[in-house]
A and B are shown apart, each in its own frame.
Chain A
Amino acid sequence: MKQSNLKYPCLIAVLYFGMNVNAQVTQDSAKVQKIDEVVMIGYGSRKKVDNTTSISSISADEVTKTKVLNASQAIQGKAAGVQVIASDAPGSTPTVMIRGLGTVLGGRTPLYVVDGMFTDNINNINSNDILTYDILKDAAALAIYGNRAANGVIIITTKSGRGKLSVSYDGLVGFRTPLKTIKMANGSEFANYNNAGKASNYLNPNQPYDTDWFKEITRTGIYNQHNLSISGSSEVAKYFLSLSNYDEQSILKGTNYNRTTVRTNNEFRITKGIRLAQTLSATFTNDTPKSYGAFTNAYKQSPLVPVYYPNGKYGQPIYNKTTGNIDYEGGRFNNVGNPVMQLAYDNQRGRNFLLQGGLKLDIDIYKDLKFTSQFSGEYGNYKYYNFVNSKSFWLDSDPMRTENQYSATSPLTRLTNKSQNYFNWLLNNYLTYTKKIENHDIEVVVGTEASVKNGLETLIINRKDVPVSKDYWNLSGVDYYGNLYSDSDTKALESIKGNRNTTISYFGRFQYKFMNRYLLSGTIRRDGSSQFAAGNKWGTFPSFGAGWVISEESFMKDGFFDLLKLRGGWGKIGNQNVPLNYLPLSMGATYNYAFGSSPVSNGVTVNKGYDPGLGWEVTEESSLGLDFGILDKRLTGTFDIYNRKTKNLILGVVPYMATGISDLNYSHMGSVVNKGAEVSLNWADKVGEDFTYSIGANYSYNKNKLASIDLSKPVSQIVGGNLGNGQDTKLFNANAVGYALGSFYLWEADGYDANGNLKFKDLNGNGVTGSADPGDRRFFDSYIPKSTLGVNISMSYKDWDFALSGYGAFGFKVYNGKKAQRNGGENVEASVANDFWTPTNTNAANPVNPANIPIASTFYLESGDYFRINNISVGYTFKNLTDYVKSIKLYVSAINPFVFQKYSGYSSELSGYNPTDPTAEGDPYKRAGVELDAYPTLRSFVFGVNLNF
């Protein structure tokens, strides 16, 4: 929300943000920005130079420079210490890690504070509406948010009106293609490879079909975005209205995504000293998701299989046992379906409506005392369906099947309808007292906050035998009771009300500045949360920070350093993002049983452990930083180091196997340490009057380590990174201490044996190797990058401007899951089919076609290091064309044009995002870092225009 308590210099900064949203960086305004930059610190703002904590502030211009759906993806590489792992799947949420990963359970996302409202996901926010994007990084800054701040906080404020009435329009159109493609084996290479594995010529190498499945399921993606905003202000009111539409047809055939947002932000000056600000945004999203297993199937399906047989039916991997040719009947040489057929039958649609809004009242009680009361709410509604044409799919799965063979008791079609809604609200009240006495500057904030997250209410209905046409699914007068469908894992009708989550908080902050150079600040917050059992609900989170603006000292003033500031702090923050802690009864379909011919009886049991002592997960951090500016502030930079320890790490764990409890519960299990450093440097200068440029780079290093595990707890281990074929690639147990979270746990490949199969090292020296000896597995690197690098260059010459940004991540590994998932008969990469072990080629790069499922080993573990040019854009602005048109800018932008990566797969940026399992994204013990069913990274070319009236 707007902090109208700004002093005059800060007002300039606000005006700067406004005017330069769609314009170039000029030298003078850049200077103004650096002196009087203001950062949002939560329940207030502060001048950057007076701030004692580590906050990265990203301008609105930077947030919109890369044209993507979610603003968090656009800031990749622009802030030191902030790691973004993005997925280009439409509608996906990027994983944001601030100063390392400190927690393992669900709730790894940083807290987004959007106009004061707490939210987890900013997919609904139109990037063009963002005025400030501030990332609070260290605990001294985060402690004001207490119980939700352990993963970092991102404060976003949306635009409000200023100045004269102005209208601006932004439009763009872009084309998307995969950034990297993999060359797969062709028909004869495939046949030879498989024949070699079976030592028989069961497949004929000369076949009429040679299908490139990846090409068959993808298309050139196209997306466009239109944004119109009107803003202005007068004596008594400021107004802002924006409308936008984002539409994408992504590369996987049939995946479409459309988002429309309407936003109105107004501020009313009711009387002198009383201001009311209102924000309201409505977002409508409509998308047709598809299962990303299509990519894996396209990778695995043989090129010998045609998309369609000559008689028009979908091709299947069936071969004639005598001739070895693809045929209508015979044996099946692999278990992979026809990817084009699976996409064609994948019929899903989701519609989302999200309403966010708030009211903020500021009252100036005395000259120095201000009272603020803020109420914000969020309402979301989601509708989804999934239609399966079961009979048709069954018939098409085998060309020899006929209609009368279809079982009379199987459903003809199946339809799932899901409807969800929720409402969250937040109310806070606080007093701000500012006083300046001679050389002393004091600001004190004291307040309370109450927040309620009502549980998600869900209604799911599964029906069968509905007509194929969507128009006839919801007919009037029809009793659908007879159409309800359930089986061993589908329930006919589910109605779920999620548990409620409430919090009360009390917080206070004081900030003190002495002689414009000595800074001291402290915060304290006390939170009570409903998630924990009695006795564990409350936690206190203090912090303090100190700073010294050395350049203001008499001995330094007007010296070499324009700005030299030292700052440091310590703080304690918490994480309460666990499900409600209680012992539930387990019931439902999997506990029901039908005795004889009786109808199904209900069963109930207790299938969960319970730890009543579960409380907050607490992170403590100490940090130190240095800001400097030299050479007339043309070269500026910051340097930070930090040490974060997350004690009483909460993990979902399952008790010992013999207890028979199969559902997990949460318990405090250990501690995680993140230590690191961040450096950022920026050089901005101008040559002559017309040419200005700036070059910036930031580098961060973070070492993540599981420091300890509580061995007294009766817990089993977490096995993760499952490949769906019985192999797991990650492990969390007592032996994982000392390694990073999410480290891969694999056998170590060591050349080939006499038959050309992979050989493995015998690490425990017992003479047994490979899958027979699990003791030979050990930990390797994690998928979490150890260091990241961001590079941002911008130049402007007269009316031209140019920008380039790049991002790289280093020091991590990824697992090529799709290559390792073989069950037999699948396709391989061309490099494998042409270079595998044979008795005459024993030094090949790949083993012989394996007869068994390959075990999880380092053979499939590759370095994930990459550096990618994220964005190159060139633009030209026509200024002051007529009285009405202030400026027209035309620009061309390339997103992800080049990547330098060591990994042989599509992309080493793997967040684990899975549309069917929203909790999987970013979970270190699911598929993050494993390339399986992952959406490839896309390269886009964008043409756009900005018009300002």
Chain B
Amino acid sequence: MNKKYIIAAAFLILGAVNQSCSNDFIDVSPTEAIPEGALGEIYNNDAGANSLVTAIYAKFLDWNMSTFAWIGVTSIVSDDADKGSSASDSGSDKDILDALTFTPSTPSFKELFASNYQGINRCNQALKYLPQLDKADPQLRERLTGEAKFLRAFMYFTLVRSFGGVPLVDHVPVTGVEADKLMTLTRKSKEEIYAFIEKDLKDAAAVLPSGTGGQRATKGAAHALLAKVYLYQKKWQLAVDETNQVTGYSLTPVFQDIYKVSGENNAESIFEINGSGGTAGRAIQQYSQVQGARGTTGWGWGFATPTQGLYDAYSATDSRRDATIIHRDMTLYDGYYVGPNTENKFYNYKAYSSNYRDQASTDVNIRYLRYAEVLLIRAEAMNELGQTSAAVPFLNQVRNRANIGNTPASSQADVRSDIWKQRRLELAFEHDRWFDLVRTGQAQAAMAADGGKVFKVGKHELFPLPQDFIMESGGLSAQNPGY
């Protein structure tokens, strides 16, 4: 071949390669995920608006939000439940929680803190992008904004009850903005957090629809939660006013039915986190399995076992006892027999799923707000305002549903004690006991009665903030006293 042809061909190839390698060659659009910039074109419709808020609810299904850590810091730590499982199984830190010897580096507090902020982030993202979806129905967007605010308030309520003052993250922080960095690292006071929660709930109540059934946030849910928030701050009159706005609900006649699948989102339910089991479902991860009976005829890990103290607190006729506590040698409502050789004496019945018994994903719901609790809040607030005789009928509604008759108490102090006791018996294992003990000042005595555990007044009213948070704040936030 002629050398000149070769040279020409060589340079042509070189040239061709260079021409085709323009800068577009290194511009690549992602195929693994949709970039945030495309939100406006793909999600600018009703379905898109809905999905922004669906993700917030989905956070409650995560392990770090609702399962082992949450069960530990609300049930196991209290006098309603012991660690459970076998003696040598610590559950990584459940033994420390049970004994009240926890420290800032106990892992469950980090999960509690981090998971709630992850949920708050999802709320803030929804609140940021909903206004940009101009092609979605404005009324729908308004309702969804209300739901996001309700859920944000719910999560801040969890944080402020657990830790006291925490950072107040009310919008998506922007990297590089110093004010946003301070916002995420500096603890606000308890009062500021409560004020923010109240504002969110008032905004939500204004736009949410009414209706019963707890699967989505409703006007009733916003008012019920606000009533509880006022109760914790001892703002009795405001609490009563809020409970009066919670209408349309009624108590389920048979207590046990509340916790069956047929009772999910019924007329008593104000706000529930829904789990659906099986292959097509989305469940609260391993919630049933962690608390399921352990050993022969068992189906789970056996944690958060009810205490003898709780069992004995129920009277023999109380229909709630055998709907709350599984004991050995018992036939459950679906006919399943729990044998006498399980590892522990008692187990949490409210976490039992008949359809998906031992699976990691079951159809169990967590009932966060029920009409029974609204009645008890009203009774307690009215009693504190001195309206004891007007408060007693509401207390009796709850007692009669449980088959224990009207309350024998009549003085403000006795009624108060009975209300507190009924809160314990009615709402056992619904993630309130520890916070109730702390806010009512019963904690020290109750924990001492529960096997001599030492509740240090002035320290244990608040959980320790996770050590990792204190370290990353670089001095901007201080730890809770005593830790």
Contacts and interface: CB of A to CB of B under 8 A. Distances in A.
B54 A601 contact: yes
B356 A825 contact: no
Contacts of B361: 487-488
Given A659-B184, A661-B121, A772-B103, 15 more contacts: A197-B88, A274-B6, A330-B296, A334-B88, A365-B10, A448-B17, A497-B31, A530-B28, A584-B34, A590-B62, A595-B215, A655-B175, A659-B117, A824-B90, A852-B95
B153 interface: no
B122 A486 contact: no
A488 B167 contact: no
A585 B33 contact: yes
Contacts of A725: 92
A333 B278 CA distance: 30
Nearest to B159: A658
Interface in B82-114: 86-90, 92-93, 95-96, 103-105, 107, 110, 113-114
Nearest to B185: A656
B280 A486 contact: yes
Interface string B369-389: 000000000000000000000
A329 B32 contact: no
A824 to B, nearest CB: 3
A662 B120 CA distance: 12
A221 interface: no
Contact of B276 (A499, A503, A594): A594
A450 to B, nearest CB: 5
A409 B277 contact: yes
Nearest to A406: B358
Interface string A414-450: 0000000000000101010000000000000000101
Contact of A584 (B27, B35, B360): B35
B120 A660 contact: yes
Contact of A593 (B57, B125, B173, B278): B57
A393 to B, nearest CB: 12
Interface string B306-327: 0000000000000000000000
Given A591-B55, A601-B51, A726 B107 contact: yes
B33 A331 contact: no
B54 A824 contact: no
Given A605-B125, A660-B118, A400 B92 contact: no
Nearest to B362: A409
B440 interface: no
A765 interface: no
Interface in B337-388: 341, 343, 355-361
B139 interface: no
Contacts of A660: 114, 117-122, 124, 169
Contact of A502 (B25, B52, B117): B25
B184 A365 contact: no
A583 B30 CA distance: 10
Given A271-B1, A448-B14, A584-B33, A604 B216 contact: no
Interface in A457-504: 464, 484-489, 492, 496-504
B206 interface: no
21 contacts: A332-B86, A400-B296, A448-B14, A450-B21, A487-B360, A496-B32, A500-B31, A503-B26, A580-B28, A590-B58, A600-B281, A606-B125, A656-B184, A657-B466, A659-B121, A659-B169, A717-B468, A717-B471, A726-B92, A774-B103, A825-B89
Interface string B1-42: 101001100100110011001010111101111111111000
Contacts of A335: 89
Given A528-B26, A825-B88, A596 B103 contact: no
Contacts, number: 313
A487 B283 contact: yes
Interface string B293-307: 011110000000000
A201 interface: no
Given A448-B17, A455-B31, A660-B118, A198 B88 contact: yes
B193 interface: no
Interface centre among A274, A455, A503, A824 (most CB of B within 10 A): A824
A662 B355 contact: no
Contacts of B33: 584-587
10 smallest beta-carbon distances between A and B, as pairs: A824-B88, A660-B121, A603-B55, A584-B33, A603-B54, A596-B215, A660-B117, A726-B92, A605-B55, A530-B28
B282 A409 contact: no
Nearest to B96: A852
Contacts of B184: 655-659, 714
Contact of B264 (A400, A499, A596, A656): A596
B389 to A, nearest CB: 39
B122 A589 contact: no
B162 interface: no
Contact of B213 (A398, A596, A661): A596
B396 interface: no
Contacts of A310: none
B234 interface: no
B282 A594 contact: yes
A847 interface: no
Contacts of B43: 585, 604
Given A599-B280, A660-B117, A660-B122, A498 B17 contact: no
Contacts of A333: 86, 88
A12 B125 CA distance: 69
Contact of A488 (B30, B118, B172, B285): B285
Contacts of B50: 601
A771 B28 contact: no
A391 to B, nearest CB: 12
Contacts of A655: 173, 175, 184
A373 interface: yes
B279 A464 contact: yes
Contacts of A334: 88
A582 interface: yes
A411 B279 contact: yes
A492 B110 CA distance: 32
A197 B88 CA distance: 9
Nearest to B473: A656
B3 A365 contact: yes
A280 interface: no
A420 B184 CA distance: 41
Nearest to A400: B296
Interface centre among B1, B110, B294 (most CB of A within 10 A): B1
Nearest to A724: B92
A407 interface: yes
Nearest to B103: A772
A723 to B, nearest CB: 11
Interface centre among B32, B34, B96, B110 (most CB of A within 10 A): B32
Contacts of B175: 609-611, 655, 714
Contacts of A464: 279
B456 interface: no
B265 interface: yes
Nearest to B216: A595
A296 B228 CA distance: 49
Contacts of B360: 487-488
B72 to A, nearest CB: 12
Interface centre among A334, A583, A593 (most CB of B within 10 A): A593
Interface in A569-620: 580, 582-587, 589-607, 609-611
B181 interface: yes
Nearest to B186: A658
Given A429-B17, A726-B92, A504 B467 contact: no
Contacts of B471: 717, 733
B54 A592 contact: yes
A363 B93 CA distance: 71
Nearest to B108: A726
Interface in A539-558: none
Given A596-B274, A609-B175, A657 B117 contact: yes
A537 B472 contact: no
Nearest to A505: B21
